[in-house]
Chain A
Amino acid sequence: MAVSTQPSKAGRAEAAGVIPAGLCALGAAFWAGAARAELGLNFPEPAAGVAQEIYNIHMLTTTIATVLLVIIFGFVIYSLIHHRKSRGYVADQTFHQSWFGHWSWVIVPVLVLGIDLTIAHSAQKTLEKVWEVPEGEDMLDVKVVGHQWWWEYEYLDHAVEIDGKPRTVRIESRATPEDKAGEHYLRDVDNPLVLPVGKKVRFLHTSADVNHAFWVPELAVKKDAIPGYVTETWVDLNREGTFRGQCAELCGTWHSRMPIVVESVSEDRFSTWIDGQKQAMVASAAEASMDKTWDKDALLEKGHAAYNTKCGACHQINGKGLPPAFPALAGSKIATGPIAGHLDIVLNGKPGTAMVAWNSLSNLELAAIITYERNAWGNDTGDVVQPRDIEAARSLAVK
């Protein structure tokens, strides 16, 4: 029979109390500190009503999880210290026959069920507040389209008449390069999504190619953008500011380089901005629809800028591409060969690859880009492609 070498009962009780108390104090201090957003340890400061709800339920579950962790660790650590052979503790061979042994299989599940139902109840309440788009309210509808590897936003409620047809305000949002983005590299775009504070916004998400996901942490909005589907989320911005997010579904090579920037502004500034967008659309449509013949240098200048923005991410600014996924255009057979083939692949894309059909660009933009590609990086074909050539190529059958 082993002799008990345990410390006195009083000493043990003290020791048993100190550890959980100490852990609790540590935990509370850590918690108060950790919850501050700017430390980068927790969600950023919510910028919308739904985001606040989500932050609250997150803090609830985190607190419950921490308390449970302290209790579990407390018991285990106590046991590790006291129930040791080296301390002379004799194993209780009939523990499983004790009252606790007989009933714990009921008590433990019931306790866990109680905690689960508490969490589920609060979670369900929060879910019902944030999930479904509110009905019967006047909301700003924004269509979000994921592309490889940029975002397209369309303000469905705001259109301007061009060539006798209404065209909705549409912006293309691409990552800014490192030299321009500075500390916001990978979280900065050329054309942010401008949204008004105080008016609820409904997002309609889809994709032009593969699965993407639209995620802005300060809005607590995340939804998959799936080709062939339209998924919905909504948000009620409640403060002004610049909120940065990223694509949240692996979508290929540049998944890491598809940021989202939301500029939350007052309703007045939003109106001004939208009007500015409409004017710019009218102006660029006027320029593109002129049935004029452009000179080579003007096309090259336009084409250079447009190529860098729209094609450069994959085919690289130096035209060398990233083979085999993104072929080089410098010295490529298509860019130096027959113009018809070059037009076809740009207009219609190459199915089964990341090269999509770029037929949504204007005739002018496409003419400029293709002229640039045929003359840059030593390609030097001397070819000039005019907007009317693009128009003619569009009406050819798609291969």
Chain B
Amino acid sequence: MTTTTLDQPHEHAHAHEHHGPPRGLKRWLFSTNHKDIGTMYLVFALTMLFAGGASAMLIRMELFMPGLQLLEPDLYNNLVTNHALIMIFGAVMPAAAGLANWMIPLMIGAPDMALPRMNNLSFWILPAAATMLILSFVVPFFPGGGTQINTGWTLYPPLSLQVGMSMDFLIFAIHLLGISSVLASINIIVTIFNMRAPGMRMLEMPIFVWTWLVTAFLLILVVPVLAGGVTMLLFDRHFGTSFFNAAGGGDPVLFQHLFWFFGHPEVYILILPSFGVLASIIPTFARKPLFGYNSLVGAMIAIMVIGMVVWAHHQYTIGMSLGAVSYFMIGTIIISIPVGLMVFNYMATMWRGSMTFETPMLFAVAILLMFSFGGLTGIMLAVVPADMQYHDSMFVVAHFHYVLLPGAVFGLFAGIFYWLPKWTGHMYKEKLAKLFFWVNVISFNVTFFPQHFIGLAGMPRRIADYNVMFTEFNVVSSLGAFVFGLSHLLLLYIVIDTVRRGKQAEARVWEGARGLEWELPSPPPFHSWTTPPNLATVAR
């Protein structure tokens, strides 16, 4: 066909649908299909979840009793470092990107992402980055391999200047991860701005799409700052510069500012897509429209803006002036307003609904309750004088696990259960999934709730060994952690089982589900929305 009428792409694509996707390794290596790339992100993330989880299990095994039973302290510090890096950069961010890839085109009525080949690159950078990360872990076990990265994921100099070549592998891994995120973000923004179905105004797109739009802007703004900071570390380590070396005229605290200028918006990057998932799930299972669409959009933009100017609440103890520390305190406290508004809107969606509690909804409710709890300890932490006691103690560890796990991770689990039937065409086994939910959520609380108290009692974080006064709660926490870790094997089983078989899922998998993705069959065809949907005919 050589005519160039507007109809041609549709007919051409129609022909493709009969052929289906390419076969074998080529399908995945050279994929430009948002569904396949989304699947690859999710599989990668699930693998990384177990790698990061393994580090956590070793950490909790060492902390089970006072004394150094299992690990050399530097290996312990390295596991602490890797646990965070793998979970943040290897599990949560790629999983969220996987959801974005799968769902954004389906939700806005687009045939694919705007830049499909760049989409492929964004994904395939990740296994290379993971390899770098693995190398950084493995190299010290060989003669001449140098020391482990024992700095925590925050990589503060001067300590990070002392580490062996592992640190250099990590810096390169971070460069690769950053490039992947920025490219993916560009793709997402361009897709959302340009490829919505005719008639879909910005303020009519699903909230999940909005959360990814804001997340993408945040990523583009702050990831380069991290990249700059770690590159400066690389130069200090090898090229004789003194960015962070006081003896050479530099400033160790400069790195902290660069890191946290990225690091604080990063927590919103981690949480917003999961909040977007909640906005899809709760109206479905409450059988009631989402409450406060416009205020949700306003709130997340406020979070983005304010979130970029409060980074030093991670640095209250560096010796800032009264004025500086007061500014960061009030800014941090103020963020509770837009975040609280988002959580409130989700609760108001539940209110006076007609709720049923399939697994996605179970997770959604658990998220609202536990994230609120974590947010409240966040307000406690914002108070500078009190933070003199909380900072770098187990109280902080408890706080961020209560916002990250229920917030980011459970949000992703909820999204997976919610959309797995759409992606695979099979219903997952509801009873097993509910079992997973209860074991997972209860053991999560057993693991992290006691950590608030040992933090208040004076146990620092990032220590491999502790005084006997902290024993009891550490034992409880570790037992909870072992159950929590093992429970994820059930998740793995459910996911694999659902991919392979299960009761056939309908197009509208959930009775109350509304949105363009539910107009397509389950699973959707390899190329979907090749003809844009007519929004007038879609169920609202």
Interface status of B72 (Cβ within 8 A of chain A): yes
**Contact across chains for B388 and A220 when beta carbons are under 8 A apart:** yes
Per the bound structure, the CA–CA distance linking A223 and B318 in Å amounts to 6
Residues in B whose Cβ lies below 8 Å from that of A96:
289, 291-292, 348
Most buried by B among A183, A223, A244, A245: A223
A91 and B287 in contact, given A127-B325, A130-B385, A131-B385 (Cβ under 8 angstroms): yes
A79 and B329 in contact, given A108-B340, A185-B468, A224-B319 (Cβ under 8 angstroms): no
Set B291, B351, B383, B454: member contacting A119, Cβ < 8 A? B383
**Contact across chains for A54 and B388 when beta carbons are under 8 A apart:** yes
**Contact across chains for B286 and A109 when beta carbons are under 8 A apart:** no
8 interchain pairs (CB within 8 A)?
A: A40-B470, A41-B453, A83-B352, A89-B352, A108-B341, A185-B66, A211-B252, A223-B319
Residues in B whose Cβ lies below 8 Å from that of A332:
none
Most buried by B among A90, A109, A257: A109
Closest chain-B Cβ to A23's Cβ sits at a distance in Å of: 13
**Contact across chains for A222 and B317 when beta carbons are under 8 A apart:** yes
How large, as a class, is the contact surface on chain B? 35 or more
**Contact across chains for B288 and A221 when beta carbons are under 8 A apart:** no
In B332-355, the 8 Å CB interface with A consists of 333-334, 336-338, 340-341, 344, 347-348, 350-355
**Contact across chains for B158 and A227 when beta carbons are under 8 A apart:** yes
Interface status of B36 (Cβ within 8 A of chain A): no
Closest chain-A Cβ to B256's Cβ sits at a distance in Å of: 9
Interface status of B33 (Cβ within 8 A of chain A): no
A119 and B379 in contact, given A76-B368, A132-B322, A252-B162 (Cβ under 8 angstroms): yes
Interface status of B253 (Cβ within 8 A of chain A): yes
**Contact across chains for B465 and A40 when beta carbons are under 8 A apart:** no
Closest chain-A Cβ to B121's Cβ sits at a distance in Å of: 35
Residues in B whose Cβ lies below 8 Å from that of A100:
348
Interface status of B467 (Cβ within 8 A of chain A): yes
Closest chain-B Cβ to A137's Cβ sits at a distance in Å of: 17
**Contact across chains for A217 and B458 when beta carbons are under 8 A apart:** yes
Most buried by A among B334, B348, B472: B348
A213 and B325 in contact, given A80-B365, A353-B162 (Cβ under 8 angstroms): no
**Contact across chains for A221 and B384 when beta carbons are under 8 A apart:** no
Interface status of B330 (Cβ within 8 A of chain A): yes
Set B253, B352, B384, B463: member contacting A127, Cβ < 8 A? B384
Interface status of A209 (Cβ within 8 A of chain B): yes
Per the bound structure, the CA–CA distance linking A322 and B252 in Å amounts to 27
Residues in B whose Cβ lies below 8 Å from that of A73:
369, 372
Residues in B whose Cβ lies below 8 Å from that of A99:
none
Closest chain-A Cβ to B170's Cβ sits at a distance in Å of: 16
**Contact across chains for A124 and B460 when beta carbons are under 8 A apart:** no
Interface status of B205 (Cβ within 8 A of chain A): no
Most buried by B among A41, A68, A120, A250: A250
Q: Which 8 A-B pairs have the closest CB atoms?
A: A228-B246, A231-B319, A256-B463, A105-B295, A91-B354, A65-B376, A92-B352, A248-B392
**Contact across chains for A104 and B319 when beta carbons are under 8 A apart:** no
- Other A-B contacts than A79-B352, A130-B385, A220-B385, 4 sampled, CB-CB below 8 A, are A69-B376, A112-B336, A119-B383, A228-B252
Per the bound structure, the CA–CA distance linking A398 and B487 in Å amounts to 58
In A20-61, the 8 Å CB interface with B consists of 40-44, 53-54, 57-58, 61
**Contact across chains for B326 and A127 when beta carbons are under 8 A apart:** yes
Interface status of B526 (Cβ within 8 A of chain A): no
Residues in A whose Cβ lies below 8 Å from that of B28:
none
Per the bound structure, the CA–CA distance linking A312 and B383 in Å amounts to 41
Residues in A whose Cβ lies below 8 Å from that of B482:
none
Which stretch (B42-50, B144-152, B266-274, B430-438) binds chain A?
B144-152
A interface residues, tally (CB under 8 Å): 93
Residue in chain B with minimal CB distance to A322:
B72
Residues in A whose Cβ lies below 8 Å from that of B317:
213, 222-224, 248-249
Residues in B whose Cβ lies below 8 Å from that of A62:
380
**Contact across chains for A256 and B73 when beta carbons are under 8 A apart:** yes
Closest chain-B Cβ to A68's Cβ sits at a distance in Å of: 6
A54 and B389 in contact, given A91-B354, A93-B288 (Cβ under 8 angstroms): yes
A128 and B348 in contact, given A113-B337, A228-B246 (Cβ under 8 angstroms): no
Per the bound structure, the CA–CA distance linking A325 and B470 in Å amounts to 29
Residues in B whose Cβ lies below 8 Å from that of A124:
326, 329-330
Set A89, A130, A211, A257: member contacting B156, Cβ < 8 A? A211
Interface status of B124 (Cβ within 8 A of chain A): no
Residues in A whose Cβ lies below 8 Å from that of B325:
127, 131
**Contact across chains for A119 and B466 when beta carbons are under 8 A apart:** no
Closest chain-A Cβ to B262's Cβ sits at a distance in Å of: 19
Per the bound structure, the CA–CA distance linking A90 and B286 in Å amounts to 10
Residues in B whose Cβ lies below 8 Å from that of A215:
392, 460
**Contact across chains for A61 and B458 when beta carbons are under 8 A apart:** no
Closest chain-B Cβ to A240's Cβ sits at a distance in Å of: 19
Interface status of A86 (Cβ within 8 A of chain B): yes
**Contact across chains for A86 and B356 when beta carbons are under 8 A apart:** yes
In A64-103, the 8 Å CB interface with B consists of 65, 68-69, 72-73, 75-76, 79-80, 83-86, 89-93, 95-96, 100-101
Interface status of A247 (Cβ within 8 A of chain B): yes
* Binary contact readout B350-367 vs A (1 if CB under 8 angstroms, 0 otherwise): 111111100000000100
Set B294, B319, B341, B353: member contacting A232, Cβ < 8 A? B319
Per the bound structure, the CA–CA distance linking A186 and B356 in Å amounts to 52
Interface status of A269 (Cβ within 8 A of chain B): no
Closest chain-B Cβ to A83's Cβ sits at a distance in Å of: 5
**Contact across chains for B388 and A112 when beta carbons are under 8 A apart:** no
Interface status of B77 (Cβ within 8 A of chain A): yes
Residues in A whose Cβ lies below 8 Å from that of B340:
108-109, 112
Residue in chain A with minimal CB distance to B346:
A76
Interface status of B464 (Cβ within 8 A of chain A): yes
In A224-279, the 8 Å CB interface with B consists of 224, 226-229, 231-232, 244-257
Residues in B whose Cβ lies below 8 Å from that of A76:
347, 350, 365, 368-369
Interface status of B70 (Cβ within 8 A of chain A): no
**Contact across chains for B389 and A228 when beta carbons are under 8 A apart:** no
Closest chain-A Cβ to B450's Cβ sits at a distance in Å of: 10
Per the bound structure, the CA–CA distance linking A130 and B162 in Å amounts to 35
Residue in chain B with minimal CB distance to A86:
B356
Closest chain-B Cβ to A225's Cβ sits at a distance in Å of: 10
Interface status of B280 (Cβ within 8 A of chain A): no
Interface status of A200 (Cβ within 8 A of chain B): no
Closest chain-B Cβ to A254's Cβ sits at a distance in Å of: 6
